[in-house]
Amino acid sequence: MPSNTNPTNPTSKAPRAEKQNPTAYDAKSIQLLKGLEAVRKRPGMYIGGTGPEGLHHLIWELIDNSVDEAAAGFANLIEVTLHRDGSVEVADNGRGIPIDKKDGKRTALEVVFTELHAGGKFNSNAYSASGGLHGVGASVVNALASKVVVEVDRDAATHRLSFEHQLPGRYDAKGVFKPGSALEIVRKVPAKRTGTRVRFWPDMDVFDPGLSVEYELVRDHCAQVCFLVPGLKVRLSDKRGSTPREPEEFVAKGGLADLVETLSIGEFVTDVITLHGTGAFEERVPVEGKMTLVQRTCTVDIAMRWVKGYDTVISSFVNTIPTTEGGTHIAGFERAMTKVANDVLLSGTKKLAKLAKSGKDRAEKGDVQEGLVAAVKVTLPEPQFKGQTKQELGTPAVQSIVYEVVRDNFTNWIDGGGKKSNISALRDKVAQAVLTRVTTKATQDAKRKAANLSSAGMPDKLADCRRHGINSELLIVEGDSAAGPAKAGRNSENMAVLPLRGKVVNAGKSTLKQVIENAEAQALFTAVGAGSGADFDLDQSRYGRIIILCDADVDGSHIRCLLLTLFYHYMRPMLEDGRIYAAQPPLYTAKVGDKTVHAFSDAERERITAELTKGNRKAENIGWVRFKGLGEMDVEELAETCLDPGTRILRRITMSDAKEEIEAGKLFETLMGNDVSRRRQYLLDNSDLLDSDLLDV
C-alpha cells in the first residue's frame, strides 16, 4: 500500500501535488453518466459506430418503431421524408405515443425520448412481438440529435414536444427554445385520427465529417420492411436538392414470398416454397423482481427458391428487424436444410452412386445453398439480441424450433407436397454441386501446387520475366501474332507475356469444374500463382499487375469481357486491389514529318487532322493508317503505345466497393447471360463501354 508520508520527514504530511497524482484511483475516479450521457459518450455501443452505418441506424430505429405498430395491426401507412435542412421525418398512423403523465410530472412521451430502456416492448401488453426489448431507440435518436420535434395525434388534437440538445421544451413564435415538460397543443384533428411524427436533426458533431443520408440506403430499407408486414404501405419523399425526387411508395401483399421473387435473378429451378410452423419454449425472465419461468411461442415463416446461379442470398428477420449477421434462427435453418437434403432429397441418387463407395456423397451446406434465395423470419416476444444494433439473434431455443419446422415442412415438400419437376430439378442441382465439389478438389489442389512451382512448372506458352513481385507485370495478348511484338518490345526484367491461343471460358455461366478444366484459365491461374476462387491469396501473386492487351474492336471487347468475368469470379482480389489494367492501343497512326501521331478514335483523328491542316498542309497528305489489330504493329509501335511506362496509356479496372461490384455483376449478366441476341446487340452498341468508366493510370 503506498505511503502517505514524505520520505525525508516521516512526521510530515504528503504534499498537495501527490493528491493530484493522475495515476490515483479512488472514489473520485468513478464517473456516473446520467440520462443520455452514456449514448453520447459511447455512441458505437448503441448504433454501431459514427460512420454511415450509425447515421442511418437512427432512421432505422424510428422506422422500426412504426413497423412494430403496423405488425401489431394498428398502422398501415409509414411516411419517411428527407428534408432540405438535413433533418429526417418518420410518421405513421398508429396509435400514437401515449401523452398522459407517467410519473406525475412528465408525460410518457417525454420519458420515451429522454430515458434509456423506456418503452412499451418489455411485456406483451402493448406488443405481442416487436423489434426488440431494449427500449432505447427513440431516446438514442434524441441523444444523438441536435434537435427533435415530436407530434402525436391523440384525443382529437395534435400534441407537440420539442427537444434541443436532449432537453424537452417548446419553441415560441420567435423560434426561441424554452425548456419545459408541458405538451403544446398544435391543432385539432378528427377524434379517430391517431399517429406519431418524429423529425430529427442529427448532431453532425457526433458523426464522421462529410456524412449525409443516402437515398438509396433509405429506399432499400423502406422497400424491405414492406415484405415483413403484408399490406403495409411505406411512402418515401426526398425534398433535398434543386429538383426533389418524386415520392415513391412501397407495398407487398405477398410478404416474404414477394421478397424472394424480388431477389431471384436468373432462370428458376423451383417455384417459391413457403414453410410455416410454430414452437414453444421456456425461459427465465425477471417478473416483479424475481426470475420466473415463462412460456414463449415462436412462429417461423420462410420463403425460398433455387435459381440456376451459384450465389446464395439469405435474408433473415426477427419480428420486424433485419438480422444481417444471422443468429440462432439461421443456424437452425441451415442445419435442417443440409439434414433433409442428405436424408431425403439425395437418398439413392444415381448421379452420386460412384461417390457413395468412398463416402463422399454427402452434401455440405454450400452444396445445398448453391443458388438458394431465401427469406427467414421468426416472430417471438422479447427476443435476445447480441448487441443493441440487433444484427444477430441470440435466443438459444429458437434454433431447435426453426430446425424442426424446416425439417418437417421441407421433407413434406420433397415427399409429394411440391411439383415433381421442381423436386427433380433441385435434386439434380444439389447432386451436381456435390459432384463438382468432390471431383474438382484434387484438380484445384494440383493447380494450386503448380502455381507455386518455379518457372519450370509454368505454362509452356508463358514468356516469363526475371523478377517477380509488386513491380512486375503479366501482359495477356491475343494469339501468337500479338505475342511476338510484345515479347520483343517488353522489358524482360519485369514484364511477362501470356498469349491466349484458345477460347477463354465464360466463367459467368460455367461450373467450377468447367472453369478449372479450361486451358486458358488453367494457364492464367498457374502463371499468377495465387490460386483461384475463395482460395485466391493476393499476397501470393507472382505479378503486381495484370495488363490486358486486346484489339480495339468488338472482338477485342468480347475477349476482354470474358477475361474480366474470369477475374471477377475467380481472382476478385486483383480487381478489388486495382491490379487489373487494360492497354489502350491507338486505332490510327500517321507520320507527320519526323513526328508520329496516334489517334484513339475517329473523333480524335478528325481533331488532329484539323490541327495539322491549319497551315498549308492538305488533309489528304496526312497518311493515316488504321490498325486492325495489335499483331499489325511493329515492335517499336507496340512498345511505345502499350508497353513503355513513359508513353503508354493504361486504364485501371477496379471494383473499390460493394456498389461497384453489384453494378459490375449486372454488366456481366448482360454480357455473359443466356440471351445471345441481347449480348450481341449490347456489344455492337457499346463495344467501348468498359473503357469509358475506367481511370487513367
The active-site residue out of 248, 283, 553, 576 is 553
Residue 435 backbone dihedrals phi, psi, to 5 degrees? -60, -45
Q: What is the DSSP letter of 620?
A: G
Rounded Cα distance between 95 and 109, Å, is: 13
SS (H, E, C) 446-498: HHHHHHCCCHHHCCCCCECCCCCEEEEEEEEEEHHHHHHHHHHHCCCCCEEEE
* Known catalytic membership, residue 464: no
Rounded Cα distance between 141 and 491, Å, is: 60
The active-site residue out of 61, 473, 478, 520 is 478
Rounded Cα distance between 340 and 409, Å, is: 10
Rounded Cα distance between 332 and 419, Å, is: 25
Q: What is the DSSP letter of 363?
A: P
Residue type, 612: L
Partners of 318 in the β-ladder = 321, 378
Residue 352 · residue 367 · CB < 8 Å: no
Rounded Cα distance between 4 and 1, Å, is: 9
CB-based burial label for 696 (10 Å; 0-12, 13-18, 19+): exposed
Q: Per the structure block, which three cell numbers stand in for 309?
A: 446461379
The active-site residue out of 214, 555, 634, 675 is 555
* Known catalytic membership, residue 478: yes
The active-site residue out of 69, 238, 392, 551 is 551
Residue 299 · residue 378 · CB < 8 Å: yes
**Which candidate, 252, 275, 261, places its Cα nearest to that of 329?**
275
* Known catalytic membership, residue 555: yes
Rounded Cα distance between 474 and 453, Å, is: 17
List alpha helices for 72-209, DSSP H. 108-114, 137-143
Report the alpha-carbon angle 54-74-82, nearest 5. Answer: 35
Rounded Cα distance between 316 and 391, Å, is: 10
- Terminal-residue alpha carbon distance, the chain: 65
Rounded Cα distance between 300 and 407, Å, is: 12
Residue 29 · residue 19 · CB < 8 Å: no
Instruction: Note the maximum CA span of the chain.
Output: 109
Residue 455 · residue 464 · CB < 8 Å: yes
Rounded Cα distance between 621 and 643, Å, is: 29
Residue type, 16: R
Q: Per the structure block, which three cell numbers stand in for 442?
A: 484434387
Q: Using the structure block, give the residue that is written with the C-alpha cell 409509414.
A: 78
Rounded Cα distance between 621 and 169, Å, is: 83
By DSSP bridging, strand 495-500 and strand 469-478 are: parallel
CA 176 to chain CA mean position, Å: 43
Residue type, 210: G
Task: Return the active site residues.
Answer: 478, 551, 553, 555
